[in-house]
Amino acid sequence: KKKIYLTIDDGPKDSHGEILENLRGNKATFFMVGRSLDTVNGFDSACRTLELGNEIGNHSYSHPKFSRINFEEVKTEIERTHRLIERAYSLVGRTNPCLFRFPYGDDGDELMVPILENYEVNKKLKIKNFLIEMGYTTYFWNVDSEDYRHYLDNDKKINLEEVMNNIMRTKDGDIVLVHDLPITAKNIIPFLIDSGKYELEVLGR
């Protein structure tokens, strides 16, 4: 079997319960958004996720592009979500492994900023050092399912077959990016488990 790291971004959303159910005891890493955690239902979902043996990572509070906001705003995005995740881990009696993923994969690189007045010297480096100081390890991905494109209402929309073809490119040791969406719950996770070709691992262990 190929050992892979399934990472599920942007939750918890409406599909979260079905995702947990369809994992059937297999484990995944959920990079959660703070504003979704900052509700009673969202926080309860996070605690349930941890109780089932999954891991939760920090995916910022409101999912902005870090290259478009200043460093102090970036710190607030990270810290607010950190406090919520810390509380969830504490309540279930587990230690937070401090996993981080940049929204949109945007690490704050000034070269991505089209408006000159948003430029900050060494912001990318300051963000990197701040995450290290907080004890975070940052994770990107090797395989992007592009599952979100299945829900677009324009010429960038892709069908289920194209999403699954992206998933089937996964190699041993890859980090796979999916999102808290119905297609993940109903199609991607059942395929990964039922095919018998993959062994799901979590990041940070």
57 contacts 203 by C-beta, under 8 angstroms: yes
Mean pLDDT of the region 91-113: 90
24: burial class by Cβ within 10 Å (0-12, 13-18, 19+)?
A: exposed
Mean pLDDT of the region 159-187: 98
pLDDT at 113: 55
112: pLDDT strictly greater than 80: no
| pLDDT tens, residue by residue, 15-32 | 999 999 999 999 999 999
58: burial class by Cβ within 10 Å (0-12, 13-18, 19+)?
A: buried
Rounded to whole angstroms, how far apart are CA atoms 149 and 33?
A: 19
The phi, psi pair for 143, rounded to 5°, reads -125, 125
pLDDT at 122: 86
Mean pLDDT of the region 41-62: 98
Closest Cα to residue 6, out of 114, 144, 162, 151?
Answer: 144
pLDDT at 157: 97
Residue 70 β-bridge partners: none
Q: Which amino acid is at 30?
A: F
pTM to 2 decimal places: 0.95
pLDDT at 57: 98
Pairing of strands 2-11, 198-201: parallel
| pLDDT tens, residue by residue, 118-170 | 567 789 999 999 999 999 999 999 999 999 999 999 999 999 999 999 999 99
Closest Cα to residue 88, out of 118, 131, 116, 58?
Answer: 58
Rounded to whole angstroms, how far apart are CA atoms 104 and 205?
A: 24
150 contacts 157 by C-beta, under 8 angstroms: yes
Query: What percent of the chain stands above pLDDT 90?
Result: 90
